[in-house]
Amino acid sequence: MSALLRTSAKAPVRAFAFTRTQFQRRTISSTRAPQKALPFSLNATGTSSSSVNGQNKILRMLMFGKPGAGKGTLSARLVKKYEILSLSTGDLLRQHIAERTEVGRMAEEIVATGGFLPDDIMLKVVTSKLDMLHNRHWILDGFPRTLGQGKLLDDHLRSRNTPLSLVVNVDVADEIILSRISDRWVHLPSGRVYNLSYNPPKVHGLDDATGEPLTKRPDDNPEIFARRLEKFYASTSPLLAYYKTQPSRSTRVSTLTGSTSDEIWPQLDGLVRSSFPNLKERAEPRGQRLRHSLQEAVLGRPDHDPITKC
């Protein structure tokens, strides 16, 4: 996360009292992390009694996952398929600063002096948008990141009678992510990500859409990954445990496991469809519908032609 999003919150680390040497040994060589350090066996905590079969439920979603687990890719797939708003904390903060709002001016002063943004300011940045989306489906990206932030957000949403309805943890083994980031290349202008193992570019080293060169992210190396993973365990594990233990009938908490985004996507899609059956899929763009209609008219044959067998 960029410097804009750093906060002063300090997540409790008492439950993760292992040395850096032990952490790195577990991260790189072990195929399974100790259960004590990974409270990720999260299951559904129930659904709201006011929304039988999910017919009236609004998707208010958080997605967590280790660095490189693919949560960004999975969120993008949901937004592409369904009428869901994706809210980036970084984008919201930059908008406040650009528009010179009260919160934006406060944040700009803190950032300019190299300070950390307090949780209450980050909460105002996020909720100033969420409070306008009473009947809209959304996924929030970048907040909360710590237990303190999670409690603040939870209290605010419940006070507005708009509680979280789904918390998803994307659980991918450490060694799989480490192998994945070693093969990862990105097109920085667009953010498109390629992997030489399972999602290679059509032309080696070049972006499929623009033909521009691909590059490596500066943090795609084992040493930096280990530090990011250590921070995830210290900050996000207690937050996930908090959501799991909350006596909530409105928030469902679920863990999805797999090795790749393609493997996890059907689980996520099925979870969202079954929990929120009123969630609408995005309409096909008019231009694309028109092209399909013209093709059918010109070809004058059904989709599965008995002659050409295609």
Q: Which of 23, 20, 21 is nearest to 36 (CA)?
A: 23
Per-residue pLDDT at 306: 34
35 is in an annotated binding site: no
- Residue 287 assigned as binding residue: no
Residue 148 counted as an annotated binding residue:
no
CA–CA separation, 279 vs 272, rounded Å? 8
Query: How confident is the model over 228-286, as pLDDT tens digits?
Result: 899 899 999 999 999 988 877 789 999 999 998 999 999 999 999 999 999 999 987 66
Question: Going from the N-terminus, what domains does the chain have, and what CATH number goes with each?
Answer: 3-168+223-299 (3.40.50.300)
pLDDT 10s digits, 92-122: 999 999 999 999 999 999 988 888 889 999 9
Q: Is 261 annotated as a binding residue?
A: yes
Q: Any known ligand binding at 89?
A: yes
Task: Consult the annotation and say whether 301 binds a ligand.
Answer: no
Is 149 known as a binding-site position? Answer: yes
For the four alpha carbons of 64, 68, 69 and 74, in that order, the dihedral sign comes to positive
Residue 195 parent element (H or E):
strand 192-195
Q: Is 142 assigned to a binding site?
A: yes
Angle between helices 71-81 and 261-275 (to 10 degrees): 50
The predicted-structure confidence for 178-188, as pLDDT tens digits, reads as follows 888 888 899 98
Q: Please state the rounded mean pLDDT for residues 16-39.
A: 39
69 is in an annotated binding site: yes
Ramachandran angles phi, psi of 248, nearest 5°? -110, 135
Is the per-residue pLDDT at 309 higher than 70? no
* Residue-level pLDDT at 48: 38
* 297 annotated among ligand-binding-site residues: no
Q: Is position 194 annotated in a ligand binding site?
A: yes
More confident residue, 172 or 31: 172
Q: What is the pLDDT of residue 53?
A: 43
Question: Closest by alpha carbon to 275, among 59, 43, 49?
Answer: 59
Per-state percent for the chain, helix, strand, coil, to nearest 5? 45, 15, 40
pLDDT (tens digit per residue) in 65-102: 998 898 988 999 999 999 999 999 988 999 999 999 99
